[in-house]
Amino acid sequence: MLGLKHGQYLKDDSAAKEKTYKLVREFDKLFKDKNKTTNCRELLGADLMGSEKIPMEQVKRRCSRIVREAAEILENVLQHAD
């Protein structure tokens, strides 16, 4: 989403590229401040492909919360980017 709104559309538009990278770093920092990581296995507290399975309902609940938080952070970053 950040790349779509602020990305580099022209080959030599390095300012747009740098702005997008800056916004991605900001999003990453804010997400990690809230969740400590961006690693799915760590966010869920389990490896979905491994032996430490957790109930799917628990996965859905955790994923929904994480995606909602990511969307809120993204919205905030986009609002303050202009």
Closest CA relative to residue 78, chosen from 9, 20, 37: 20
Residue 10, pLDDT > 70, answer no
* Mean pLDDT, range 33-51, rounded to an integer: 85
Closest CA relative to residue 46, chosen from 62, 35, 30: 62
* Mean pLDDT, range 54-65, rounded to an integer: 86
Report pLDDT for 8: 65
Residue 62, pLDDT > 80, answer yes
**Cα–Cα distances in Å, from 26 out to 33, 39, 48, 74?**
10, 17, 28, 10
In this prediction, residue 77 has a pLDDT band, given cuts at 50, 70 and 90, of very high
